[in-house]
Structure 1
Amino acid sequence: MQIAIIGAGLAGLSAANALVTAGHTVGLFDKARGPGGRMSTRRTETERGLAFFDHGAQYFTARDPGFAAEVARWEAAGSAARWPAAGEGAWVGTPGMNAIIKGLAADHAVQWNCRIESLSREGALWRLKHADGTETADAVIVAVPAEQVADLVAAHRGEWAELAQATRSQPCWTVMAAFGSRVDFAGDCLRTEGAIGWAARNSAKPGRTGPESWVVQGSPAWSTEHLEDDAETVIALLLAELAAALGCELPETIAVQAHRWRYAMSGSAGRTAVWDGSLGLGLCGDWLVGPRIESAWVSGRALAGLVLAG
């Protein structure tokens, strides 16, 4: 079959790998400018060179045997490494979290900066509309956050749209700060301290280079409360929280910025993947399973299995 996958994150790419291996032709479409999504890495020029920030997912674990085998392949390829500072079994992409998505996407035909606006059924084919025209496919996989699912599938499987609408993500404000000298704190990670849900010395992760760099993420509750604040306000508040939590004065910042994730931590619909073989339409993503990177991969691979099973 010719299969279109909307969303080239880990779920969509996991499904694509399995389907291509089985002999299907796959095209992926993603509204982002390039690979990364919630596994993005940002780089910023500073007076001390490039600073790098994993401003989405900070690390991942591998409990599912299939995913653990996949991670072992990433490690062998140099795109993943263990990060003990985050806990036993923690992994990160190297030299940035987005290295994993970049590596997977390189093996597929991905149209970046391509937002699929609607899906329509024409005879035995699906038609996917985007700003520059249309695409056709025998089957469609929707691998986007829950909040973006309903508009695509409501006309075809209303109960799937309702499932997605009932499974909401939590937001997250993230501050990225590079400093002129080392922050005077013995550890490299901080969890759940007041407004902070997570903070880490990003420059201490395996394979990182550049100046002292920290990522500070607001807790879900704090980020919800301050969701519509401007970036400057969020930066000031979270850096003050970081200094208080670490118990030290922060060095001079040489670069700082903030990013608002409206859909940061997925919910859980209690499913793995859903597939309607008569329509040739399916859903996958971490929101079906739970808020972990591994969940996205497991969901995509599970949906591919349902497609291949007929």
Structure 2
Amino acid sequence: MQVAIIGAGMAGITCASRLVEAGHEVTVFDKGRGPGGRMATRRVEHGGETFRFDHGAQYFTAREMAFQAQVRAWEADGIVAPWPAAKEGAWVGTPGMNAPIRSMAEALNVQFATRVSALVRERGGWRLEGEGLADASFDAVVVAVPAEQVAPLLGAHAPDFAEDARDVTSEPCWTAMVAFEGRVDAPDTLADEGAIGWAARNSAKPGRDADQECWVIQANPRWSRAQLEREAENVGEELLAHFPRAPGDLPPVLFSTAHRWRYAKCEKNDAGARWDAAQRIGVCGDWLSGPRVENAFLSGLELARLIEG
């Protein structure tokens, strides 16, 4: 089949990879500039330096055998490494969190900067409408985006899928990315410090530039909800003020910015993935499985199996 997959995060790229291995022709569409979804890495050029921040998922673990096997393959390829500073069994992509997804995407036909706004059923297949889309039809469609973005695409075609998505709640997360002139006197990771849910010395992760002092500071869900519609610049400054050191004790800031994740962490779900064989339309993603990176991988894997029958 010719399959369109909307979303180049872990679930969508995993599903695409397995379908290509099975002999299908797959095109992945994503509104972003690169693969990764919430496993994104931000690259910033500032003052003649290049700073990198893992501003989404901070690490992942591997519990299920299928994902453990995949992680071992990634480790052999040098694109993941253990990061015990986070917790026992924690892994990160190298040199950035998006490295595993980027590696998988290189073997696929992925169209970035392409926002799919509607699906149109025609002649037994599907046509996609949206920004940057050429006229193309597909035999099957997979929607691999956050739950809150599923219903607008599937409400008219798969109302039960859309209703499942509407029932899911995702927590937001404001994230500050800060590069300091000198070393911050703090452990490599901090958690549950007032408004801050998590903070990490990004430059201490394996494969990063250890000569830099780059930090990712993520607010907890409650604080993020209260500040959800504020400007990023102001939020970044305020998060830095919540850093568990008096502002006067911190080294001078070389660069800072903030990013708002509206749909950062979904609740646990046991559906895995959904596939309508009659219409040839499916959904996968962590909102169908659970909030961990591994859940997204397993959901994409499960949908590929359902499609193959």
TM-score bracket, normalised by the shorter chain, equals: over 0.9
User: 1:124-163, aligned counterparts within 5 Å?
Assistant: 124-131=124-131, 132-163=133-164
Distance across 1 between alignment mates of 2:268 and 2:199: 24
2:165: which partner in 1? Answer: 164
- Give 5+ residue unaligned stretches, structure 2: none
**1:116 aligns to 2:126 (yes or no):** no
2:226: which partner in 1? Answer: 225
SS of the counterpart of 1:237? helix
Cα deviation, residue 122, structure 1: 1.2
| CA offset digits 1:243-292 (Å, max 9, x no partner) | 34x89821111111111111111233431000011110110000111111
| CA offset digits 1:18-69 (Å, max 9, x no partner) | 1111111111111112122211111223447322110111000011110111
1:214: which partner in 2? Answer: 215
**1:18 aligns to 2:18 (yes or no):** yes
The 8 Å contact of residues 193 and 244 in structure 2, kept in 1 or not, is answered as: no
SS of the counterpart of 2:85? helix
1:66: which partner in 2? Answer: 66
Distance across 2 between alignment mates of 1:248 and 1:215: 19
Letter in 2 for 1:17: S
| CA offset digits 1:136-184 (Å, max 9, x no partner) | 1111111011011011111111111111011021111000110111001
The 8 Å contact of residues 181 and 212 in structure 1, kept in 2 or not, is answered as: yes
2:95: which partner in 1? Answer: 95
The 8 Å contact of residues 171 and 266 in structure 2, kept in 1 or not, is answered as: yes
Aligned length: 307
2:192: which partner in 1? Answer: 192
SS of the counterpart of 1:35? coil
User: 1:173-192, aligned counterparts within 5 Å?
Assistant: 173-185=174-186, 187-192=187-192
Distance across 2 between alignment mates of 1:232 and 1:5: 34
| CA offset digits 1:174-227 (Å, max 9, x no partner) | 001101110012x21011111001000000000001510110000011000111
SS of the counterpart of 1:71? helix
SS of the counterpart of 2:3? strand
Letter in 2 for 1:243: P
The 8 Å contact of residues 44 and 255 in structure 1, kept in 2 or not, is answered as: no
1:36: which partner in 2? Answer: 36
Letter in 2 for 1:224: R
The 8 Å contact of residues 180 and 212 in structure 1, kept in 2 or not, is answered as: yes
Deviates more, 1:47-56 or 1:273-282: 47-56
SS of the counterpart of 2:279? coil
1:306: which partner in 2? Answer: 306
Aligned-residue Cα RMSD (Å) equals 1.5
Distance across 1 between alignment mates of 2:32 and 2:247: 38
SS of the counterpart of 1:287? helix
The 8 Å contact of residues 144 and 285 in structure 1, kept in 2 or not, is answered as: yes
Distance across 1 between alignment mates of 2:44 and 2:25: 37
Letter in 1 for 2:27: G
Distance across 1 between alignment mates of 2:127 and 2:44: 39
Letter in 2 for 1:22: A
The 8 Å contact of residues 243 and 250 in structure 1, kept in 2 or not, is answered as: no
The 8 Å contact of residues 172 and 260 in structure 2, kept in 1 or not, is answered as: yes
